[in-house]
Structure 1
Amino acid sequence: MANPIERRVRFEMQGVLSAVVCFGLLSAIALPPLPIYGLDIYLVTLCAPLVALLVFATWSSAPVFQISALFPLALGIMVCVSALFSWHFQFSSVNARDIVEAIKYLQFVPYLLAVPFLSRRTDKFFHKALKFSGIVVAVVGFLQAFGMGGLVSSIYLGPDSAHLDSALSGHRITLTGSDPNVGGVIAAFFCAYYFSQYSVSRKVFSLFLFFVFMFLCFATQSRTALLALIFGLSVYYLFFFRVFVFYKVFFLAFGFFLVFFLVFFLDLSYVYLGFQDALAGRNNSVNVRFDNLSNAILRFKESPVIGVGPAKSSFSTVIDSEYALIVQRYGLLGVFLFFGYVFYLFRLSCSGVSGVWGSCLLMFTMMAFLVMLTNNIFSGYQLMSFVVFLHIACVLNQRFKGRGQAVQPA
């Protein structure tokens, strides 16, 4: 039985750990990367060792293992195994950057190991921190949309970014993302979050914020993000949103009409001309992705089980499609591990779909299926933080709900 001093120390440790976990994960979305030795490094990576130290300090008194931490751990090990296999069979030359690629996944292991040591108050802290991050994203987005985001765009994108000019002109804004597509997915995530809030609380202000971020998603002119948002919202609205069937059909039809209206009203020529060119086979962006997929299949045939590894010294590091990236770099092993994690997230979201976190994770998982066609979710530098954030929030909500302490929406 712990004495009052030990309980107080443990309580304070939980508070510190919750703050560091939340700050680390959301810093990848709300804060710009730090230029260190020519590399842009997000704070989520730099905070990971601190989270690990706090976890192990707490673990010494109450050892508990979070089993779902095995997913990013397995993905990190997969990268190393594929790289070593590729070097051994000379698919690529030895390059330390291939092993460094594993950090993208391994950095999230401490965050998930922290889950058993987070208290019930973490849930409200997560809501508040996410809303604050949303304010930062929205402010940056509107500054860019109205042509006033010169300084912030330079800070978030860097002076050498190929997307800086379009962000400065407001033609294709990037929000706090590294490019318009990442920015579009960030806006789509906040659409899912605030629609989940509205679904649970029916507060009109949540619906208003949903439309604010929908506008920002449109302003990025990311075709993939827009389609993913429509798909994720439609799946959730049709099968899980609590309302009469007549209203579902009516508002779904109205929603599709609104989307088409906004595309032309806001003069989003990049969106509708891109779709027209894609149907005619003239869209260079789509054609490049088809070429990358074709090359990925050829390399998959060379090494179908473990893939050819990151192979950064032999093949292009820009693959554009996460499906192509998984098949090429990690073969069937990668397919099994990645989609095993996606299936776990889908089940986790379904078990808590009546709450904010579960419904948000469900929509974001649905979005991911489309986003991965042309961009990276799990293998990127920013969007994986959303996945782990929702993963932790859903596990916490499930844990306390199981104890008869259902977490109320913020």
Structure 2
Amino acid sequence: MFWNIGVTRKNSNKLLLILAIMLSTMILPSIEIRSSLPRVRVDDVLIFGVFALNIVIGLIHRTPSEYDLGLTYHEEQARGMRAVTGVFLLLLGSMIVSNLFGLIFLKTPFGLRDAMEGVTLAKYYLAATLAVSLDLQEGEFSLLRNIFLVGFAFILLLSWGQFLNIANVNAWLTPFFARSHLDNLVNANPPRVLGTFDNPNVMGIFSVITLTVFVSLFYFRDNERARSIFLFAAVGLTIKLIFMTISRTALLGTAFVLVLLSLWALFKFRWKKDMLIKVGALLILTLAIFFTSPRGFTTRINEATNLETSTSAQGHLLRAGNAFEYIKESPILGWGTAKTTMTTLVDDEYALITRRYGVIGLVFYLWLFLRPLKAALWKARFYNFSSPEQGMRETKILLGIAYVAATGAIFIYNITAGIFYNLQLMTFFALFMGLIYRIEGEND
């Protein structure tokens, strides 16, 4: 594997690179170098830069026994690599076929912007395979967890600062993250926080993904009292953060996650008293946060219940409308990427993918998320959560359970937005995917 050579030959260096990429996706916006050039992300530079450096070092120093471009690696990695490579190749193949079909038969032009679709897919593939290459043990997981908590703590502090405009933060710091949403979102009434992302809806779904981890650890692990209190507080703060974004899609995702994980825990532990208390406590906490929210919050939520008067719902339908017309004309293979001739602003990722790559492309797009979900469910199926034994094996299973819930929330989010074309969010999720592939490849 190309992550087993050069700079990332050691497991510790892989971990450091993953930590740097993770923090970049969590707390750093894209950076403008010149107004005429696309904005650049630090995680892009890290992923492609280290990958290129590894290939160069591997070619310079290759020997049959030591530097065979990383093609010799452990079986755990091999299983994960085969799985993730197969999924990405299927999606890439469908993109190529659709673009060729559009170019030859539909006379759809193909330009540099369209070719960048392959670069985007390559970035996610490299992020996922980097996570696959990591030997995740107790020490690595502890550092990964702690750095994540530091990043999330920064997001929480900034979000509360935006909500209350502490130290006039919305005048000097928030614009660094929100380039176009200050007046109509952060400074609106009610204010919608966006944390370190450029849109409150993205902040909302990122918080939902985080929530899945906290809730999974709270429900399924037999924690000591101090850790249980910490996880309970973390769940409450995360739910409050989701509410502060006033993202209705994220709120629906939150409801899905809490219901799914609560029912899963209740049935897995056979409705034991301790689990009933945990579920009841989270229910009361969620209701308390909901009913103590500002009036503007409930007004915006109620506005979405009537599709005929909801400006947001109507806007989503208008932006997706043209895509459905194009889908009717070429449903199987789509029109190709076609960024120069068709709008990229389609508030439904399923419609956008189908318009570009047809039903076949949509299937492989969904498989990108469903394949690791299948792996996570398979691992969880044979695990005995009633056993008092804890350790990395249990932690990895719990990460898989969190991934299952997070995938469901992502599928809801994609109805009115989309994760695949958000480089910040999808790169973070690709790392999550990679860890699931690696966990699948390990023997119990």
TM bracket (short chain): 0.7 to 0.9
2:68 matched to 1:49? no
Between the aligned partners of 1:69 and 1:136, the Cα distance in structure 2 is 34
Aligned pairs, how many? 394
Q: Do the aligned residues in 2 keep the contact of 1:14 with 1:119 (CA within 8 Å)? A: yes
**What is aligned with 1:216?**
241
Report Cα offsets for 1:275-320 as digits up to 9, x if no partner: 4454251112212222344432221122112211232222221101
**What is aligned with 1:28?**
25
**What is aligned with 2:185?**
166
Letter matched to residue 430 of structure 2: V
- SS of the residue 1:383 aligns to: helix
Between the aligned partners of 2:412 and 2:368, the Cα distance in structure 1 is 16
Matches within 5 A, 1:290-301: 290-301=317-328
**How well do the aligned residues superpose, as a CA RMSD in angstroms?**
3.0
**What is aligned with 1:361?**
403
Q: Do the aligned residues in 2 keep the contact of 1:157 with 1:164 (CA within 8 Å)? A: no
Once the two structures are overlaid, the 10-residue window that deviates more, 186-195 or 117-126, is 117-126
Letter matched to residue 89 of structure 1: F
Report Cα offsets for 1:68-93 as digits up to 9, x if no partner: 13333443454344334323334543
Instruction: Find runs of 4+ consecutive structure 1 residues off by over 6 angstroms.
Output: 9-12, 248-251
Cα offset, 1:324, TM superposition? 1.2
Q: Do the aligned residues in 1 keep the contact of 2:376 with 2:440 (CA within 8 Å)? A: no
User: Could you state the TM-score of these two structures normalised by the residue count of structure 1?
Assistant: 0.85
**What is aligned with 1:152?**
173
Between the aligned partners of 2:295 and 2:344, the Cα distance in structure 1 is 30
**What is aligned with 1:4?**
none
Between the aligned partners of 1:59 and 1:374, the Cα distance in structure 2 is 45
Q: Give aligned-pair identity as a percent.
A: 19
Instruction: Choose which of 425, 431, 438 in structure 2 pairs with 1:383.
Output: 425
**What is aligned with 2:161?**
143
Report Cα offsets for 1:122-152 as digits up to 9, x if no partner: 4333223322221221122121122133233
Pair 1:176–1:10, CA change in 2 (3 A) = closer
Between the aligned partners of 2:236 and 2:360, the Cα distance in structure 1 is 40
Instruction: Choose which of 130, 141, 160 in structure 2 pairs with 1:123.
Output: 141
- SS of the residue 1:375 aligns to: coil
2:378 matched to 1:344? no
Instruction: Choose which of 330, 345, 350 in structure 1 pairs with 2:357.
Output: 330
2:184 matched to 1:184? no
Pair 1:101–1:11, CA change in 2 (3 A) = closer
Letter matched to residue 102 of structure 1: G
**What is aligned with 1:407?**
none
- SS of the residue 2:347 aligns to: coil
Pair 1:243–1:253, CA change in 2 (3 A) = same
Cα offset, 1:246, TM superposition? 7.1
**What is aligned with 1:196?**
216
Cα offset, 1:11, TM superposition? 8.9
2:343 matched to 1:319? no
Pair 1:51–1:123, CA change in 2 (3 A) = farther
Between the aligned partners of 1:381 and 1:115, the Cα distance in structure 2 is 17
Cα offset, 1:231, TM superposition? 0.3
Q: Which runs of 5+ in 2 are unaligned?
A: 59-66, 381-393
2:339 matched to 1:306? no
More relative contact order, 1 or 2 (CA 8 Å, 6+ apart): 2
- SS of the residue 2:32 aligns to: strand
2:256 matched to 1:238? no
Q: Do the aligned residues in 2 keep the contact of 1:352 with 1:359 (CA within 8 Å)? A: no
**What is aligned with 2:69?**
60
- SS of the residue 1:235 aligns to: helix
- SS of the residue 2:47 aligns to: helix
Pair 1:197–1:164, CA change in 2 (3 A) = farther
Q: Do the aligned residues in 1 keep the contact of 2:19 with 2:144 (CA within 8 Å)? A: yes
**What is aligned with 1:282?**
309
Pair 1:397–1:26, CA change in 2 (3 A) = farther
- SS of the residue 2:423 aligns to: coil
Cα offset, 1:392, TM superposition? 2.1
Between the aligned partners of 1:86 and 1:244, the Cα distance in structure 2 is 54
Q: Do the aligned residues in 1 keep the contact of 2:185 with 2:192 (CA within 8 Å)? A: yes
Instruction: Choose which of 226, 230, 237 in structure 1 pairs with 2:251.
Output: 226
Pair 1:235–1:124, CA change in 2 (3 A) = same
2:141 matched to 1:99? no
Once the two structures are overlaid, the 10-residue window that deviates more, 216-225 or 341-350, is 341-350
User: Could you state the TM-score of these two structures normalised by the residue count of structure 2?
Assistant: 0.79
Letter matched to residue 352 of structure 2: L
Letter matched to residue 60 of structure 1: L
Letter matched to residue 237 of structure 2: V
Cα offset, 1:182, TM superposition? 0.2
Pair 1:94–1:11, CA change in 2 (3 A) = closer
Report Cα offsets for 1:32-65 as digits up to 9, x if no partner: 2111333333222222213424664465255345
Q: Which runs of 5+ in 1 are unaligned?
A: 1-6, 405-410
Cα offset, 1:17, TM superposition? 2.1
Letter matched to residue 357 of structure 1: L
Letter matched to residue 14 of structure 2: L
- SS of the residue 2:344 aligns to: coil
Instruction: Choose which of 219, 224, 230 in structure 2 pairs with 1:205.
Output: 230
**What is aligned with 1:372?**
414
Q: Do the aligned residues in 2 keep the contact of 1:327 with 1:334 (CA within 8 Å)? A: yes
Q: Do the aligned residues in 1 keep the contact of 2:103 with 2:109 (CA within 8 Å)? A: yes
Pair 1:280–1:376, CA change in 2 (3 A) = closer
Letter matched to residue 379 of structure 1: Y
Q: Do the aligned residues in 2 keep the contact of 1:70 with 1:109 (CA within 8 Å)? A: no
Pair 1:268–1:390, CA change in 2 (3 A) = farther
Cα offset, 1:266, TM superposition? 1.6
